[in-house]
Structure 1
Amino acid sequence: MKQINSFLTGTFSDIEIIIERKNVKKIRLKVFPDGVVKLSAPLGVSDEWINDYLGGKAKWIEKSLNYFKDAQANEFETIIHSGISTRILGRQNRIIVNEGKICKIEQKEDHVFIQSPTTGDKQALQKQFEHWWQKQSRSYFLQVIERLYPVIAKHGIAKPALQVRKMKTLWGSCSRKHGKINLNYYLYKASPPCIDYVVLHELAHFLYPKHNKDFYEFLTVHMPDWKERKRILDHEIVKGLGY
């Protein structure tokens, strides 16, 4: 895979764009909350074509970067401490850290209370929070799969297993061969309708492996507003992350 850097001049001065050439059919441009702009292009696309394409997308890139700057929408916390907020199922929750004899985390209304005997150990707090998040998100995702699975069960598809992991470029993926759905650790930040969309999307792939006409017709039949849910998802968490 060849990687080069390209630059645009605009509101944010020189914007570095990571360009990757891959064995893909379509070009994909993504803007991330931390200011990273990434373009994936088919192997045979020329530098000249890429530069023209980026020139046409300059205003969209700047608008997207402004969106994240204004909203301060870096949803990927790196340091857990009292007073910060995190989004859970589409709603902001304030994190409160208190010292206690045991490690414990509780979510009450719009607060997440973290209790720890070592509140000064940031690494331990981070590990404690991530373990809780992994458990909570997995439990919720399993409920969604259980609720939506019947739409493919009637076609003789076995219920897929679930794996929750951190992914940088996808909300979800699936392995038809191993009968497994992978969901992004950060998807738990999204609102329930958006999570439903991602789960249905992955379930649909067990019937239709490719993003073809049959696949999208299946989505539309079972979730007529899936495009709006996808649009909200892309704007709530990270532009371009997903499908």
Structure 2
Amino acid sequence: MRPFWSALKPSSAFSSFFISTMNTDVLEIAGIRVEVRRKRVKNLHVGVYPPDGSVRVAAPEALSADAIRSAVLTRMTWIRSKQQQFMRQSRQQERLYVSGETHFVFGRARRLSVTTQTGRGHRILLVGNDGIEFHVPELSSHDQRRRWMEAWYRAELRRVASPRIIHWSERIGCNPASWGIRTMKTKWGSCNPAKKIIWLNSELSKKLVSAIDYVILHEIAHFVSPRHDEVFLKVLETHMPTWRQVRADLNALPLPAWTEG
């Protein structure tokens, strides 16, 4: 699922700077770096992605560079608007995993309390409605604490998402062959309709459960139709009439403190 994604048709030619690499063509169009990936698609697609508004194009294999430039230029106002939106959007501060920090768990803000202990083990516990206890070895490093917390978040997301995948699969009548959790910088979820595989963004463990429902429904709907067409939209409208608002709320939340674009 691509939060900021648009389909275009080619137009007239414009000149711009061009670089070719083994896997990706890079164009400079109106002062913006654009990555072009050629795929077996019918239409040209333009996406603007967080955290820094990078622009990527998926283009038909036979489409000329001039046609790609023209299509991107016709959407330049939209592209710059999306880039400015990302620049204005708040970002989570990088976590140090020390007492007093605020960490979000399924949309709820919780205050972290770190306790050091002897031995090599660690524990993470939810306390009440607004606390997290993090028991760590005395000499544990920041990197170790980050990895432990990330593993815990993934386990929590798996616990919450598992029954919801079953629920939405039964509602729609399409069961995934498998699903998993991974780090994703540009999508909340993705799927392979042919193999019926679903991936969820690990960051969903910090978002409201309604957002998790939306992403799962979105990906399973692609088993009905792999495109964002009327058939796909009908699945969303039928099973989650408020999906547009849920998506807007999800995309408006603070972006993660990614270290790379």
What range is the shorter-chain TM-score in? 0.7 to 0.9
Distance change >3 Å, CA 7–CA 74, structure 1 → 2:
farther
Q: Which runs of 5+ in 1 are unaligned?
A: 9-16
- Following the alignment from structure 1 to structure 2, what is the Cα–Cα distance between the partners of residues 42 and 161? 27
Please say which structure displays the higher CA radius of gyration: 2
Distance change >3 Å, CA 217–CA 100, structure 1 → 2:
same
Residue in structure 2 matched with residue 90 of structure 1 by the alignment:
107
- Following the alignment from structure 1 to structure 2, what is the Cα–Cα distance between the partners of residues 31 and 161? 27
Cα deviation for residue 31 of structure 1 reads 4.7
Give the residue type in structure 2 aligned to 1:54: M
Distance change >3 Å, CA 177–CA 127, structure 1 → 2:
same
Distance change >3 Å, CA 206–CA 82, structure 1 → 2:
same
- Following the alignment from structure 1 to structure 2, what is the Cα–Cα distance between the partners of residues 183 and 59? 27
- Following the alignment from structure 1 to structure 2, what is the Cα–Cα distance between the partners of residues 18 and 90? 35
Cα deviation for residue 21 of structure 1 reads 0.9
- Following the alignment from structure 1 to structure 2, what is the Cα–Cα distance between the partners of residues 160 and 30? 30
Cα deviation for residue 89 of structure 1 reads 1.3
- Following the alignment from structure 1 to structure 2, what is the Cα–Cα distance between the partners of residues 175 and 58? 30
Give the residue type in structure 1 aligned to 2:34: I
- Following the alignment from structure 1 to structure 2, what is the Cα–Cα distance between the partners of residues 181 and 50? 30
Matched, 1:19 2:34: yes
Q: 2:243 aligns with which of 210, 213, 226?
A: 226
Structure 2 residue matching 1:205: 3-state secondary structure: helix
- Following the alignment from structure 2 to structure 1, what is the Cα–Cα distance between the partners of residues 108 and 81? 30
Q: 2:55 aligns with which of 34, 39, 51?
A: 39
Distance change >3 Å, CA 119–CA 112, structure 1 → 2:
farther
Residue in structure 2 matched with residue 212 of structure 1 by the alignment:
229
RMSD of aligned alpha carbons: 2.6
Distance change >3 Å, CA 182–CA 49, structure 1 → 2:
closer
Residue in structure 2 matched with residue 14 of structure 1 by the alignment:
none
- Following the alignment from structure 1 to structure 2, what is the Cα–Cα distance between the partners of residues 179 and 52? 35
- Following the alignment from structure 1 to structure 2, what is the Cα–Cα distance between the partners of residues 129 and 231? 27
Length-normalised TM-score, structure 2: 0.74
Flag the structure with more relative contact order, 1 or 2, with Cα contacts below 8 A and sequence separation at least 6: 2
Residue in structure 1 matched with residue 92 of structure 2 by the alignment:
74
Cα deviation for residue 78 of structure 1 reads 5.8
Cα deviation for residue 110 of structure 1 reads 1.7
Q: Which runs of 5+ in 2 are unaligned?
A: 1-23, 257-261
| Deviation readout 1:203-241 (Å, 9 max, x if unpaired) | 1122222221111011101111111111111111449xx
Seq. identity, %: 23
Q: Is the 8 A contact 2:103 2:112 kept in 1?
A: yes
